[in-house]
Structure 1
């Protein structure tokens, strides 16, 4: 699993679904990362039991308390990760944490739902990337590799085809307004990050994992979570300068904005 080329990886939203499966498959790689920082809001809570079980078996998996919406929590996470890295950088940040309101139609969606979804799905990834930027820059500077890649330094934002304005007519049978708008904002954030952080050697890409069978994606979804994650991890090693600031699916195919 070539995605494990990144020596150090941080995952947000790791206690279930895609985030948990990413942790599992990275740990099971032939050459797993030296450190995997798996974050969630309540690592000691009942919903993180499976993640804690993993950590008890793998010394390179570190659980980190992180609510991506709270700047103070983000700063605390940066301090913990920095202490663990002992002067080295962070190679790969995967912004996976997200929320979804399945019944949010244009007629029913309210301000509170819109704001809450934006905070988690767009503002959170922005805050996390800002806070971990020094560690990402350090990894890029330390790397002997040239160009942009996930094994040097990268920000991967887990987005969605539902954030594609061009593709909206094909999928509007599920309006999910707050989710769509927040993921469109995340796509724009990815483009802006690519234009800004690329100068420091940091690759920035948005990835659509597919419609996945998870608590958030529902059991009606057509893609098993392990298949989606295997696809995502197979895409990471092929990413380069030409992909920076783009939206790709779990098979590496470009999705229009």
Structure 2
């Protein structure tokens, strides 16, 4: 199986959980990316201490402040990424930052739905928009024929979704309803499909991934012990990403490569 071979990657929500796991795995690659951009709300806060420790040892790891729900913050972060990349382009964006509101259906409020959609759906939309030129540059520099031969090693947008956003599956409903979260992830799946259609001509592969029921703070919110470790989930997702090609753009898969019903 081919391995990911990328010069640059940006991971949102990189200070803990899956985001931090992605950063750790990229740093451990035999040929790590030249640039690993790790974003979080408060780079100097206590929750970013592990990320700061890694950055002190790895000069290719750049921590950037990003509030995914703030368009101005997204633009500022994209500009900082561009300063480091110069004209080389960005190979891979992992839209990992997310949130949930663990409530029953009757307790959901407009404020809950709005906040969750803004973070989980609109944020990834804006990240793709403001950084499109970076991805296009990477794709143009890699592809002999624009719009063909899509690969995560060339240019890709990966949206970390959830099986909870699958309309065809009721997984976990009896454990936790999290309606606003489920709705936002279903919308994120559609965004992934739309991005795949719109950005294919730019040479960019777009996919939605379910990381599994992972042992993170969010994954444990229902009061049950999730079966999948962060390390296993990230390792599995990277294996899946390394295998994707043009025929897979716009699909919804899990961390083991299985296709999930929309």
Q: TM-score, normalised by structure 2?
A: 0.95
Q: Report if aligned partners of 1:4, 1:33 keep a CA contact under 8 Å in 2.
A: no
Q: 2:130 corresponds to which residue?
A: 131
Of the three residues 206, 221, 224, the one matched with 2:226 is 221
> How many Å separate the matches in 1 of 2:209 and 2:6?
17
Q: Report if aligned partners of 1:12, 1:39 keep a CA contact under 8 Å in 2.
A: yes
C-alpha change, 1:2 and 1:25, in structure 2 (3 Å) is farther
Q: 1:106 corresponds to which residue?
A: 105
CA shift at 1:171, angstroms? 3.0
Q: Does the residue aligned with 1:24 lie in a helix, a strand or coil? A: helix
Q: Report if aligned partners of 2:8, 2:33 keep a CA contact under 8 Å in 1.
A: yes
Q: 1:239 corresponds to which residue?
A: 244
> How many Å separate the matches in 2 of 1:74 and 1:4?
26
Q: 1:192 corresponds to which residue?
A: 194
C-alpha change, 1:100 and 1:2, in structure 2 (3 Å) is farther
Q: 2:118 corresponds to which residue?
A: 119
Are 2:53 and 1:48 equivalent residues in the alignment? no
Q: 2:235 corresponds to which residue?
A: 230
> How many Å separate the matches in 2 of 1:69 and 1:118?
9
CA RMSD of aligned residues (A): 1.3
Q: 1:79 corresponds to which residue?
A: 79
CA shift at 1:3, angstroms? 5.2
Question: CA offsets per residue over residues 134-174 of structure 1, 9 Å max, x none?
Answer: 10001001114651000110000000000000012x43212
Q: 1:256 corresponds to which residue?
A: 261
CA shift at 1:69, angstroms? 1.0
Q: TM-score, normalised by structure 1?
A: 0.96
Q: How many residues align?
A: 255
> How many Å separate the matches in 2 of 1:138 and 1:24?
26
Structure 2 gaps, min length 5 = none
